[in-house]
Amino acid sequence: MTNMYIPRLHPDTIEEVKQRADIVDVISEHVVLRKRGKDFVGLCPFHSEKTPSFTVSQTKQMYYCFGCQAAGNAIKFIMDLEKRSFAEVVLDLARRYQVSVRTLEPEQRQELQRQLSLREQLYEVLAAAAQFYQHALRYSGDKALQYLEQVRKLRQDTIQQFGLGYAPAGWETLYRYLVEDKRYPVQLVEKAGLIKPRKEGGGYYDVFRDRLIIPIHDVLGRVIAFGGRSLGDEQPKYLNSPETEVFFKGKTLFALDKAKAAISQMNQAVVVEGYFDAIALHAAGINNVVASLGTALSIEQVRQILRYTESKQLVLNFDADKAGTNAAERAIGEIAELAYKGEVQLKILNLPDGKDADEYLQGRNPEDYRELLANAPLWLDWQIQQIIKDRDLKQAADFQQVSGQMVKLLKNIANSDTRNYYISYCAEILSLGDTRLIQLRVENLVTQIAPASTPRKSTPVIKQQPVAAQESVASQAGSLLKMAEALLLQIYLHYPEYRQAIVDVLEERDLQFSLSHHRFLWRQILEISSGIEHDLISTVQDRCLEFPEEMKSVTHLFHLNEKTQKDIISHHDKLIQAATACMERVIREKRCRHFWELLDQTDPEAEPQKWQSYYDLFYAEKQRLQELERQRQFSIADLL
Ligand SMILES: [Zn+2]
């Protein structure tokens, strides 16, 4: 927003504005407030929250947020919310509450009046234009009216409610009406985005010509811009007003002024793509609907909608077929971030047969739409559906791709409860109906999404992943684990005949190397060892020359002392078993602790199913740990 130069205001004016602009009144225009005791509460517009901690005191004329500590009076509220200067806000409030404005220097009054009223004047000229278009629809807009009534099947009351209009075909009909008849200054009409100067020969022409006109209102119901739809083949099909002093595309949502009460009441907001989807839904009595203005949803737009819902439930209704998944992904834009953090409960509604809401409603009962709305999948469920769509999980390549994409998705989920829920869900899908496999898949996914055990192909600088941190995960078993992993790698490197056994047992138990330098070496081995049986060590060594830093911590593995050689020759089976048991134990212990924590955080009475599933997971880990204890007939430390 441009900052206007505003002369210094007389203190009396500021004082009077403070007196007249009641804080509850001012804030209510932006936040749904409920009375609680002698104060009012609502959802804080300055931070994301699910339960109201934003408190407004009428007696103190102050607000305070217990969540983010935002605080102040009515003027401060508007300043922070709309990012405007103190003087601008005072002037706006002065106008709304009929406070006469005095400046410190009387001679500045005229300049002040001019600036003060620019926005007001823009609203006025835009309202006059809207009336002109509405009038034109009735008297010269047969074609447009026909389109509305016959193609869009809209009733008169809907056309009225949305103030739909028609821009006549001439080049300067609106220009003549506003500038010549109504005597609005030509610069003002231009600043409102309604006319443009001709490139040659001087004069102006109308921005909208021979188009159906859809006025765009701000949240307070003032006309701030127009959308124009062509009635023939003219391109573009939809044309919007340019951005102006009062119209910002990324901050505006179509029909929010008409939808906000219903959004608040139904505790849910629906976002559709097109103006006519929103209009058709409102006409069908589904009023908690807004439309994006053809751009990806911005965080600001979403926060604006969410101010009206306590549940933060947002349903995105996309055309399923047109540009399919990609369009949806694009439209989700920045808000995926909010969804991963759980700040918005995002659902996706794809209408059957790839219809948009307007097409879908024609000839159907609005209840059908409501039902689809009620059953719309949560965004993450929808994402998972997209991942497995057209895949055959019995094919290794598809399976790999699907599980890789799942891991990527799961990793981004910030809330651990939600993440665990989806881990189980994905594990179920990946086990293809074989319930015995679910647990294994869960473990596999957990290991892959845990940051400490995620191989980072793009950043092989293992020095940056401190070994110390990883060992702390392994707790007391740390040094034992280090020994076990090193032993396994040594056996693999030096004894080709046991390689298959090692690969098998790692795969069977779904184990990975926990220490980063071991993981690094194992990756190198896997990448080159197919086919080359004999010269593995020298090939790995060559390869490791590229990574001298990582080499330092693994070079000792390329040599075997005599005692170890003897041990391996006489007990290779037991050693492999003991080493892998040790590796598994560390992972299991970690998971056991993880599920125990989840169990601890879950109220068995409030969420019995969740509690039970955590208990089952915890118990399964515990049992496996006991089994491993029995398997470890002797410790590796004794052997080496
Ligand atoms: Zn807050």
Average pLDDT across each block of 10 residues of the chain; the chain has 640 residues. List them in order: 61 84 89 86 88 86 84 88 84 86 70 70 94 95 94 94 96 95 94 94 94 94 95 90 89 92 89 92 96 80 81 82 61 78 86 83 90 90 89 91 93 85 91 84 87 38 31 50 87 86 86 86 79 68 72 78 79 84 82 80 79 82 77 51
pLDDT number for residue 459: 29
**From ligand 1's centre to the CA of 45, what distance in Å?**
7
**From ligand 1's centre to the CA of 72, what distance in Å?**
12
The CA distance from 291 to 633, in Å, is 67
Strands (DSSP E) contained in 150-235 are 165-167, 195-197, 204-206, 211-217, 223-230
The CA distance from 502 to 492, in Å, is 7
Q: Which residues pair with 612 in a beta bridge?
A: none
**From ligand 1's centre to the CA of 304, what distance in Å?**
14
Two structure tokens written together for 598: 């989840």
**From ligand 1's centre to the CA of 71, what distance in Å?**
9
**From ligand 1's centre to the CA of 415, what distance in Å?**
20
**From ligand 1's centre to the CA of 474, what distance in Å?**
40
The CA distance from 123 to 125, in Å, is 6
Distances (CA, A) of 116 to 27, 92, 94, 108, 120: 22, 8, 10, 12, 8
**From ligand 1's centre to the CA of 376, what distance in Å?**
30
If you count them, how many residues does the chain have? 640
**From ligand 1's centre to the CA of 235, what distance in Å?**
45
Residue 406's contacts (CB-CB under 8 Å, 6 or more residues apart) are 384, 387, 426, 430, 445
Residue 160's contacts (CB-CB under 8 Å, 6 or more residues apart) are none
**From ligand 1's centre to the CA of 50, what distance in Å?**
11
**From ligand 1's centre to the CA of 63, what distance in Å?**
10
**From ligand 1's centre to the CA of 316, what distance in Å?**
26
**From ligand 1's centre to the CA of 44, what distance in Å?**
5
- Nearest CA-CA partner of 60 in 46, 74, 47: 74
pLDDT number for residue 388: 93
Indicate where the chain has its CATH 3.40.1360.10 domain(s): 251-377
The CA distance from 425 to 378, in Å, is 13
Residue 605: half-sphere exposure toward Cβ, Cα within 13 Å: 0
Q: What is the DSSP letter of 273?
A: S
**From ligand 1's centre to the CA of 198, what distance in Å?**
49
**From ligand 1's centre to the CA of 306, what distance in Å?**
14
**From ligand 1's centre to the CA of 65, what distance in Å?**
5
**From ligand 1's centre to the CA of 303, what distance in Å?**
13
The CA distance from 47 to 36, in Å, is 21
97 CB burial (10 A radius; 0-12, 13-18, 19+): middle
**From ligand 1's centre to the CA of 218, what distance in Å?**
24
Q: Are strands 345-350 and 313-318 parallel, antiparallel or unpaired?
A: parallel
**From ligand 1's centre to the CA of 93, what distance in Å?**
23
453-460 long-range contacts, CB within 8 A, separation 24+: 453/512, 453/514, 453/519, 454/411, 455/519, 455/523, 460/520, 460/547, 460/550
**Chain segment 154-201, per-residue pLDDT in tens:** 999 999 999 999 999 999 999 999 999 999 999 999 999 999 999 988
CATH number of 11-104: 3.90.580.10
**From ligand 1's centre to the CA of 300, what distance in Å?**
16
**From ligand 1's centre to the CA of 335, what distance in Å?**
19
**From ligand 1's centre to the CA of 346, what distance in Å?**
21
- Nearest CA-CA partner of 86 in 8, 2, 27: 8
pLDDT number for residue 143: 93
CATH number of 117-247: 3.90.980.10
pLDDT number for residue 533: 57
pLDDT number for residue 460: 27
Helices (H), 299-341: 299-306, 324-332, 335-341
The CA distance from 82 to 155, in Å, is 37
- Nearest CA-CA partner of 252 in 283, 282, 291, 195: 291
229-234 long-range contacts, CB within 8 A, separation 24+: 229/275, 231/143, 231/144, 231/147, 234/210
**From ligand 1's centre to the CA of 53, what distance in Å?**
7
**From ligand 1's centre to the CA of 238, what distance in Å?**
38
Residues 299/341, Cβ–Cβ less than 8 Å? no
pLDDT number for residue 402: 95
**From ligand 1's centre to the CA of 49, what distance in Å?**
8
Chain CA centroid to CA 387, Å: 18
Residues 132/164, Cβ–Cβ less than 8 Å? no
Residues 290/305, Cβ–Cβ less than 8 Å? yes
How much is the pTM?
Answer: 0.58
**From ligand 1's centre to the CA of 377, what distance in Å?**
29
Indicate where the chain has its CATH 3.90.580.10 domain(s): 11-104
Give the angle 212-320-402 at the CA atoms, nearest 5°: 150
**From ligand 1's centre to the CA of 615, what distance in Å?**
36
**From ligand 1's centre to the CA of 307, what distance in Å?**
12
The CA distance from 388 to 398, in Å, is 9
Two structure tokens written together for 631: 């398997």
Chain CA centroid to CA 511, Å: 34
Q: Tell me the three state secondary structure of residue 317.
A: strand
**From ligand 1's centre to the CA of 56, what distance in Å?**
12
**Chain segment 368-387, per-residue pLDDT in tens:** 999 999 888 888 898 898 89
**From ligand 1's centre to the CA of 35, what distance in Å?**
18
**From ligand 1's centre to the CA of 113, what distance in Å?**
35
State the amino acid at position 404 in one-letter form: G
Indicate where the chain has its CATH 3.90.980.10 domain(s): 117-247
Residues 251-377, CATH architecture:
3-Layer(aba) Sandwich (3.40)
**From ligand 1's centre to the CA of 578, what distance in Å?**
54
Residues 271/316, Cβ–Cβ less than 8 Å? yes
347 CB burial (10 A radius; 0-12, 13-18, 19+): buried
Q: Are strands 54-57 and 223-230 parallel, antiparallel or unpaired?
A: unpaired
Distances (CA, A) of 13 to 18, 91, 117: 9, 9, 17
Chain CA centroid to CA 302, Å: 9
Residue 124's contacts (CB-CB under 8 Å, 6 or more residues apart) are none
The CA distance from 445 to 40, in Å, is 46
In the chain, the N- to C-terminal Cα span, in Å, equals 72
Q: Which residues pair with 41 in a beta bridge?
A: 34, 55
The CA distance from 434 to 440, in Å, is 11
Chain CA centroid to CA 587, Å: 32
